[in-house]
Structure 1
Amino acid sequence: MNAPDTNAPTHDLVIETLRPLLAAEVRAELPAAAEPHDLEQAVWVRLLEHLGTEGPPTDPAAWLSATVRSEARRQRRTTFRELPYVTEPAADTAESDPERRAIARERAGALHAAVRRLPGRCPRLIGALLSPKDLTYREIAGELGISQGSLGPERSRCLGCLRRIMVSEVAPTSGRGKG
């Protein structure tokens, strides 16, 4: 077990003294789009490591400035090298599973078949909402020749009809809790 730290009040004083300076240094070092909290946290960790091994820095302001610059460079290099996933890894594994792909195709087929059985202009409206083009309400309203204001209520009515069709197709054959 480690001996109690007799320098704890000194360490707290160093941290409280450096807090406003750290915030200012981070704002000056990072571009506006970057996340300042990550950089601040990295510098605090480096300070705690320094306090544990060497004690308080002899020139805390200079040490802080140098550390902020060093950590900011490290974060920029890391950000430059890291590439975001195009899709989530879990989604990738689901797509590689033939059984899951078959079930997804079957569900999509059942949905599109139910959409085709909707009344009035509901098939076109729901089809536009499901479109891979990701149309805006304005584009859908223009495509269907209706006002944008009536699109929401009509969408709700169409989704209600679709819900009733889908529920009737997948309704349980036995009572709830009976197997």
Structure 2
Amino acid sequence: LERTRDSGPPPQPARWLRRAVRAEVRGARRRARREIPYDPVGDGPPSGPEPRPAEHAALTAEAGRALRAAVRRLPGRCPRLLGAMLSRSDLTYREIAGELGISQGSLGPVRSRCLGCLRRMLTAEVAAPEPWGKER
């Protein structure tokens, strides 16, 4: 429609629209067959038998370091709580509550507040760009 503004409306709008949509679909199918999506972090499963590249390991390690550094900057008991939840030993709520000396029933609300604080802190650090790609 943007291209037809200068020349006026097409003589048979329904036919023109049907042909335009079909042409777009054909192009999208062609691109989908030829293009391979680029995943810089590589969170998805590996696409083939080859091992993940070294870049994936480096990016994953860096993301983990950044997350743990942000968790350490949280106030109060949040660093200990989220550190226990991020632990490789996969502790249960009962074990975390015993380790921190708080009741098991209060872990959920405290965790929720800590994650909200972490989310606000990370959002402030990684400011989203303005609409339409304009940065501040």
Category of TM-score, reference length = shorter chain: 0.5 to 0.7
Give the Cα separation in 2 of the matches to 1:112 and 1:158: 13
Matching residue within 84, 88, 91 for 1:135: 91
Report the equivalent of 1:176.
131
Report the equivalent of 2:58.
102
Report the equivalent of 1:149.
105
What is the Cα deviation at residue 169 of structure 1? 1.8
Report the equivalent of 1:119.
75
What is the correspondence of 1:43-82 to structure 2 with a 5 Å cutoff?
A: none
> Which of the pair is proportionally richer in helix?
1
Relative to structure 1, the CA distance from residue 126 to residue 95 in structure 2 (aligned partners, 3 Å threshold; closer, same or farther) is farther
Report the equivalent of 2:3.
none
Question: Stretches of 4+ moved more than 4 A in 1?
Answer: 91-95
Give the gaps of 5 or more residues in structure 2: 1-43
- Quote the sequence identity (%): 62
CA contact (8 A) 1:125 1:140 kept: yes
Relative to structure 1, the CA distance from residue 126 to residue 114 in structure 2 (aligned partners, 3 Å threshold; closer, same or farther) is same
CA contact (8 A) 1:138 1:148 kept: yes
Measured against aligned partners, the alpha-carbon deviations of 1:1-33 in whole angstroms (never above 9, x if no partner) come to: xxxxxxxxxxxxxxxxxxxxxxxxxxxxxxxxx
CA contact (8 A) 2:81 2:96 kept: yes
Relative to structure 1, the CA distance from residue 89 to residue 115 in structure 2 (aligned partners, 3 Å threshold; closer, same or farther) is closer
Measured against aligned partners, the alpha-carbon deviations of 1:51-88 in whole angstroms (never above 9, x if no partner) come to: xxxxxxxxxxxxxxxxxxxxxxxxxxxxxxxxxxxxx9
Measured against aligned partners, the alpha-carbon deviations of 1:82-102 in whole angstroms (never above 9, x if no partner) come to: xxxxxx962887963111111
CA contact (8 A) 2:46 2:52 kept: no
Letter in 2 for 1:97: P
Letter in 2 for 1:100: H
State the TM-score, normalizing by the size of structure 1.
Answer: 0.46
Q: What is the root-mean-square deviation in Å for CA atoms of aligned residues?
A: 2.4
